Amino acid sequence: VNIAALKNLPFVLLLFLPCLSRAHRSNPEDEKPSCDRCDRRLSCNCTYGGFTRVPTVTDGALTLDLSFNNISEVTDDDLIGHAHLRALSLHGNTLTVIQPSAFDALWNLEELDLSNNRLTALNHTWFQKLGALQKLNLVGNPYRSLGSSLLFQGLVRLRKLAFGSDDLVELRRGHLTGVSQLEELTVHANNLQRYDAGTLAGIWPLGRVTLSLHGPFLNNTALASDLLGDVSYPETPMVLLDLHLIGNESIQPFRETSRRRVRFLTTYNLSVSDEAIVELLKVSDGAPLTYMAVNNARLTGEGRWERAKETDHKNIDEFFIRDVVILNVWKFVSFMDLGFLLQYPRRVSVIGAKVFLLPCNSTRLLKNLQYLDLTNNLLTDMTLEQTLCNGDGTLKNLRVLNFSGNALKSLSTLSHLVAKLDKLAHLDVSRNGYNVMPTHCTWPSTLQYLNISGSKLTEVTACMPKTLQVLDLSNNDLQTFLVDLPALRELYLSGNKLQNLPNGSKFPNLQSLTIQSNTLSIFHDSELKSYQRLTNLQAGQNKILCSCEFVNLLQMSFRGQGAVALTDEEENYICDSPLPLQGEQVGQVHLSIAYCHQVLVVCVCCGVALVIMVVLVVVLWRIHAFWYVKMTWAWLKAKRSSSSRRRRQNRDGTDSEPLLCYDAFVSYSERDASWVEEYLVPELENPRQKKGAFSLCLHKRDFLPGQWIVDNIMSAMERSRRTVFILSENFVSSDWCRYELDFSHFRLFDGKDDGDTAILILLEPLSKDDIPKRFCKLRKLMNSTTYLEWPQEEEKRPEFWGSLRNALRGDDEEEP
């Protein structure tokens, strides 16, 4: 043995261990699938998911539907952690194995559906921990027997039980031990070969029993009679499935049900001949049968039942017939021979039987009729006249009449035919072809309910009876509803094209309004308040305009704080506009204050902006910004004028440079004109001076008349070598002097002159602080340049004039 190799073995195993672990995890057969189709009510719909194992769902699930998958086994671990589960459906899978403890964790389970699987045997351990189970469905599995007597032993709360299939061959005493009372019992025993009498007799009270007994079992009269006798009670409705009653023999087992006085009998998928019907009528002669319902029946005979006319069926109260097919309909005899059956019932329903005519003579046989339902047939206005005997009031006791789903087109004809039915309170003519409503109709004064939904009406007129308490006009093409109905309590207008709520003042007693699926976009609180007694409103599935006011109104109504409660689901209220909110649920919309109070926000913004503007104006005024803007504009305008003048000179061939005509431009206040004219001008323009006279530019004398004043000032400065400012209190307060100072400032700022071009003369003591602060360069000039002060003493004036002359000449030479 290589000791060194053995020492390295743990290291090698560590290298390969992660790979082995990943390989194990990647095996798809070991991965448990998951289902994330759970709603907010913790109901998980995992049907048609292709699952081969029970998938993982949220631990808090209350309902789990795994129908129509390919699950073949439920293990002990599949449902651990689902203690809150209340309903589990495994219907329509391929279950063959359920481990003994598979359902042990489901302490709160109330409904379990294992129907239509491949369970060949039932194990009582599956249900031993399901003490809360109330509904159990085991139908459609290939087990031959229920097996152990302990199967239902612990199900003390069981109220609905369904079991059996074509493979069930025996029901023995003890199989249903522990089942003491049921609300519903369903047994499929078509091929049952052995039944111990009394097996089902211990179940009492029994609310409803459904039996599928066609085939060989029904032919065994003794077995069938025992089973039927064990579940036949006057208070227990009996439902029979898939019966084929052909001859007299097939009726014999039902003698026991008649003897046990069954009162409520319903059949589904019945195939029956004339002989069987006659025998059945004879068997039930004098029986207390009060309700007879036939669904999906096929009559193979011709209606020749007169041999049973001597039988007594006065206890029959209601016939319910739906989807009946008469194979030889053209040979079927008149109902006139069935008077012994038709004269007693108070309620008759013939639904989906392709009835196009009920002759008046047959109608007259229905002497006690209070309820007539001919839904989904082929009646027209013409055949309806025969059915109602031309409106002669034959059915004088009729209270409810239903002609929905036929081919009626005239409301006027209908109102005429029912006008004399003095007790008629309920009329349903929905899903017919009405497209016009007449302006006037005659209705019974007792009519309180009217349903004309599913038609093509475009308007509602005064044809509507004022006595109505319930009116259904859903699924028409109505755009307005303006009729006064003072007694109306319920109004259904869904599926129309209404854009506004009807005026509530027309319905002072209205309590419920349904107006879903219209083109309604908004309604206001004031509209709701117009309904004096409205407490229930359903207005979902409309094109909601999610304005602030409307969203707030709806959300308050959802919380029960509005004037009217919205009783349909919040999910039905979806924003259609504005575009940013399109598709959002109204209950989840949160609009900002800025969005909802735009006028206020605009006012506040404008107010803030105004305050800012005022502050800004004050600040700009304080820093003289307006002056700079004004002076810049004036300067630019003057510069443009000067440039235009120079371009003209260039075109004329003249010199474009400005001609210096003056030694100095004198800027002074009009109030200081006397000093200028008496002292300055005579002193400087005197030709007898030793060093020559100076040429001065004075605005009063040298400005060109008719020219813009600013152009005159600019021109004077440009044609003068110097600018002399006569500063005084009057100068500072003079507008035109300030203009001249401004332009001097701009000239300095423009860089064409230096500080020597400006000569400052102070006629009176004036500090630099008296110069406006916006003239920063001139203030700086006063700090850096010597200015001349006019002496009040006579003896100092020669020195003043000498300094001024030197400044005008621009040299340092002084006069003697």
Tokens of 804: 């001024």
CATH superfamily to which 346-439 belongs? Ribonuclease Inhibitor (3.80.10.10)
pLDDT at residue 249, rounded to an integer: 64
Closest among 455, 351, 472, 355 to 408, alpha carbons compared: 455
Instruction: Report pLDDT digits (tens) over 713-769.
Output: 878 888 888 888 888 888 877 766 766 766 665 665 454 555 567 788 888 887 666
Angle between helices 625-652 and 709-718 (to 10 degrees): 70
Rounded to an integer, the average pLDDT of 503-509 is 94
Tokens of 463: 């044809």
Closest among 627, 645, 602 to 741, alpha carbons compared: 627
Give residue 535's identity as a one-letter amino acid code: T
Instruction: Report pLDDT digits (tens) over 125-169.
Output: 999 999 999 999 999 999 999 988 889 998 999 999 999 999 999
Tokens of 401: 């009449």
Instruction: Report pLDDT digits (tens) over 19-50.
Output: 334 444 444 445 778 898 899 889 999 999 99
- Residue 387 and residue 398: Cα distance in Å, rounded? 13
Instruction: Report pLDDT digits (tens) over 669-683.
Output: 888 889 988 888 888
Instruction: Report pLDDT digits (tens) over 770-798.
Output: 666 666 655 666 676 667 888 888 888 88
Which residue do the tokens 């991965």 mark?
Answer: 31
Rounded to an integer, the average pLDDT of 178-198 is 92
pLDDT at residue 14, rounded to an integer: 36
- Give 701 or 410, the one with higher predicted confidence: 410
Average pLDDT value for the chain: 85
Q: Does domain 662-809 have CATH number 3.30.9.10?
A: no
| Cα distance between the two ends of the chain | 134
Q: Is the dihedral of CA 568, 574, 575, 580 positive or negative?
A: positive
All CATH 3.80.10.10 domain ranges of the chain, comma separated, are 346-439, 440-591
Task: Identify the CATH number of the domain defined by range 440-591.
Answer: 3.80.10.10
Percent of the chain with pLDDT over 70: 85
pLDDT band at 256 (very low <50, low <70, confident <90, very high): low
pLDDT at residue 777, rounded to an integer: 59
Instruction: Answer yes or no: pTM beyond 0.85.
Output: no
pLDDT band at 689 (very low <50, low <70, confident <90, very high): low
pLDDT at residue 32, rounded to an integer: 77
Rounded to an integer, the average pLDDT of 465-486 is 96
User: Is the pLDDT at 6 greater than 50, yes or no?
Assistant: no
Give the residues across from 699 on adjacent strands: none
User: Is the pLDDT at 10 greater than 60, yes or no?
Assistant: no
* One-letter-per-residue 3-state SS of 124-177: HHHCCCCCCCCEEECCCCCCCCCCCCCCCCCCCCCCEEEEECCCCCEECCCCCC
Instruction: Report pLDDT digits (tens) over 547-600.
Output: 988 898 898 888 878 778 888 888 999 999 889 899 999 988 888 888 888 888
Instruction: Report pLDDT digits (tens) over 91-110.
Output: 999 999 999 999 999 999 99
- Residue 737 and residue 723: Cα distance in Å, rounded? 12
Peptide bond into 687 cis (omega under 30): no
pLDDT at residue 261, rounded to an integer: 79
Helix ranges (H only) for 567-708 are: 593-596, 598-622, 625-652, 673-675, 681-684, 699-702
DSSP codes, 319-386:
EEEES-EETTGGGPPPGGGGHHHHTS-SEEEEESS------HHHHHT-TT--EEE--SS---HHHHHH
User: Is the pLDDT at 405 greater than 60, yes or no?
Assistant: yes
